[in-house]
Structure 1
Amino acid sequence: MIETNSTLQIETPAFCADSVRVLLVYPNSKDVALANLGFQRVHNLLNQISGVECDHYSLPVGWTSDVLELDSSSMLSHEWNWSLDRFDAIAFSISFEPDYLNAALILKYFDIPLERKERSHLHPLVLAGGSAVFINPEPLADCIDAFFIGEGEGLAEPFFKLFSESEFNDARELLEPAAKIPGIYVPQFYHQEYQEDRMVEFKAEPEIVERVERQWVKEGSPDLCTHSVLHDEVSTFKDMSLMEGTRGCIWACR
């Protein structure tokens, strides 16, 4: 275990020059982020993938949405104290729909264009997953380069293996092959038509799957054994280590 920036974590391997550097972002305050087991799981999962190194970020404790800008110290990653421009991808972990707005604010704080069509190779790839996203990704469809639709255990490795093993001048070049991975939704390859406030047509480009299927972890899989890997005194559950007993509501309620 190591302690950096007051956060205890599983020690990450020495940096490799060819690694994909991912900043995992929970779009709410740090005390809430560290109390979210899904966020914790994805952090651990990404750091177990060969060729990937993951740090995490969340908003300062006490943050409110009327804050117009953050001070420089509040814009560094929590473990390595890195600025955003050193990462290849930002991956939002979103469990609740109100945090969609917070994700947009974080992009604004980091001076990243909100609409993906306005971004260039100078910007990191912007990704999103989490329980809110795989139920309804569309509110962020114009902002996100690729969504993970379903549980991360079956999605992260094929996507980031493609990322780490591909050669490209702009990371967006890998979005077309990524769109062929089951559970990866790349909005730029889908087109909608609306009449007033109602969508009347949803069409995929050629060679892109018409319907993205949500991915699940098989019942009984050892991947379902999830526990805390990040600990901090500011966490809502600062004196506890979280462990997954069951995933989702057994009654399938919403």
Structure 2
Amino acid sequence: MPKIRLKEHNIIVKDLRQTSVLVGYCYPSTYRAGMTSLATHLFYEGLNRRVDTSCERYFRYDVPSPIRSLETSRPLKENHVVAFSLTWEEDVLNLLQMLDMDGIETLSENRGPESPIVLVGGPVVSANPEPYADFVDAFAIGEGDLVIHDIVDVVRDSPSRSDAIASMTEIPGVYVPSAGQSSVKRLIMDDLDDLFHPVAQIVPDVPDGTKLDPVFGKSLLVEVTRGCGYSCKFCMVGHICRPRRARSLDCLKEIVEQGLEKTPVRKVSMIGSSLGDLDGLESFASWIVSQNLQLSAPSLRADSITLELLESFVKGGQRTLTIAPEAGSERMRRAMGKGLDDEEIERAARLAKEAGYIALKLYFIIGLPEESEEDIIDISKMVKNLSDVSGLRITASINPFVPKAHTRWERQSQPGVEQLRERLRIVQNGLRDVPRVEVEGIDPRSARIQAALSVGDRSIGRVIHLAAQYGGLGGWRRAEKESGLRFLSLPSDTERHKAKLPWSFLVS
């Protein structure tokens, strides 16, 4: 843990004598992960543009203190609103630990009039907030760009904490677990061009490639698209973030121009799903690199790739192309709704080589519904073939299927941990002697916990509460045993498929 003050560009420190609402924006994971998230910059800059609000940041790891802000060391509990962004299910333990470390009651029912209001948003709770309901005063369901300001207005104008929370039930997209709302509408922004986009983004003054450097390096994060139009059966983004929306090229260029004036970087990192479907993406990428800027993008669909596009990314310094076949066989990809054929994936690998890439990263899922052993073997066959035809270094990321709320496979079971390990071994054995290939992936035990949290109801809050005290993978097993509740078996429980789903009150 660093003990010296971290130097950052574009931090904002307000005169608290001229503000009414103090917001602690919390990312319950590492500083690096939090600063790679566009949401951190969006809410930080957006809230601090308000004269009446001071927003400061908190992270669980790699900062001097998880409960003292980076800007002024403001104690977490001194904020009127403590707002968490929950991107990964298991980070709920970090969330509870941060509250507890500063004396904020972890159970919402135990908080008093002087306690901060605990607000949680992000993809995890926008799909299924119920496992976390015992700990949270209010959830932002869906895209929180605008609703965060409605929430701050309510906090500013309410005579008491309890009045503020009660008033939040009147805000569309806000779920207050104690209020017993029968339905909550998930917020989706219609026109991205009309939304605020952060341009004075925070940049840490640290050496490149260190643990405090963001994942994409020091760059301007530019949100190009939201949502996805493909609706693969396993994918939460393709279901709860529909429809796919994109910013116009004129808007994107304006963001880049303003951002480079205010953010001391020479790199643009595109953010969004289905980037390759953006009309004019080639033109936008070419425009960026023509200004001697570096450029990167996350995963691209194999069937949207062109040589011209890849050449722009290579000119911008990107050396690894990431694509997600998800399955080794065309049969399995059709079953999951992915819709890519082998020829399109092979073509993408060949184009990557021709454009000047040096590596491929491929994402696959094991343990899928309807999956056969032959489908697993086909993953190894595909990776080997792509290695042969491209000559590139390949990282194959093999990750277990996790059933997600609101997807078409929300009622499907996840295979047991040993079954997942055996399927992973089949892939590893098939690639053991293939040169230039590395296999990675998350621990099946972590995937099991993610799945239980994804499909659980409010009753598992007791397990979460205990696990936060114990920590680690073993802490979950101990918490399940002590609580007497079923937790790790939930993803394989066929009875849950017949019951009313805990998240059915959320509507689009």
TM bucket, shorter chain? 0.7 to 0.9
* Deviations 1:61-106 (CA, angstroms, capped at 9, x unpaired): 2x9xxxxxxxx74531011211123211110011222212221221
Do 2:18 and 2:52's aligned partners in 1 also have CA atoms closer than 8 Å? no
Which one scores higher on RCO, CA 8 angstroms, separation ≥ 6?
Answer: 1
* In the alignment, structure 1 residue 89 sits paired with structure 2 residue 61: no
Aligned residues: percent identity?
27
Partner of 1:238: 217
Partner of 2:159: 167
Q: Return the TM-score normalized by structure 1.
A: 0.79
Q: Return the TM-score normalized by structure 2.
A: 0.41
Residues in 2 aligned to 1:46 and 1:52: alpha-carbon distance in whole angstroms = 6
Residues in 2 aligned to 1:248 and 1:186: alpha-carbon distance in whole angstroms = 25
Q: Which has the higher helix share?
A: 2
Partner of 2:99: 107
Partner of 2:504: none
Matches for 1:37-186 after TM superposition, within 5 Å: 37-61=38-62, 73-168=65-160, 171-186=161-176
Q: Secondary structure at the match of 1:92?
A: strand
Distance change in 2, residues 1:114/1:40 (3 Å): same
Partner of 2:177: 187
Deviation at 1:115, TM superposition (A): 0.8
Deviation at 1:113, TM superposition (A): 1.7
Residues in 2 aligned to 1:228 and 1:134: alpha-carbon distance in whole angstroms = 27
Residues in 2 aligned to 1:187 and 1:50: alpha-carbon distance in whole angstroms = 30
Deviation at 1:152, TM superposition (A): 1.2
Distance change in 2, residues 1:9/1:58 (3 Å): same
* Deviations 1:113-141 (CA, angstroms, capped at 9, x unpaired): 21111111232111111121111111110
Q: Secondary structure at the match of 1:56?
A: strand
Partner of 1:222: 194
Question: Which structure 2 segments of 5+ residues have no match?
Answer: 207-211, 237-508
Do 1:20 and 1:53's aligned partners in 2 also have CA atoms closer than 8 Å? yes
Q: Secondary structure at the match of 1:242?
A: strand
- Root-mean-square deviation over aligned CA pairs: 2.2
Question: Which structure 1 segments of 5+ residues have no match?
Answer: 64-71, 191-203, 205-209
Residues in 2 aligned to 1:131 and 1:166: alpha-carbon distance in whole angstroms = 28
Distance change in 2, residues 1:152/1:96 (3 Å): same
Partner of 1:248: 227
Partner of 1:213: 185
Distance change in 2, residues 1:215/1:236 (3 Å): same
Which deviates further from its counterpart, 11-20 or 119-128?
11-20
Paired residues, number? 222
Deviation at 1:10, TM superposition (A): 4.8
Higher-Rg structure is 2
Distance change in 2, residues 1:117/1:220 (3 Å): closer
Deviation at 1:36, TM superposition (A): 0.7
Do 2:87 and 2:124's aligned partners in 1 also have CA atoms closer than 8 Å? yes
Distance change in 2, residues 1:13/1:74 (3 Å): closer
Residues in 2 aligned to 1:26 and 1:228: alpha-carbon distance in whole angstroms = 19
Residues in 2 aligned to 1:16 and 1:131: alpha-carbon distance in whole angstroms = 35
Q: Secondary structure at the match of 1:108?
A: helix
Residues in 2 aligned to 1:108 and 1:10: alpha-carbon distance in whole angstroms = 27
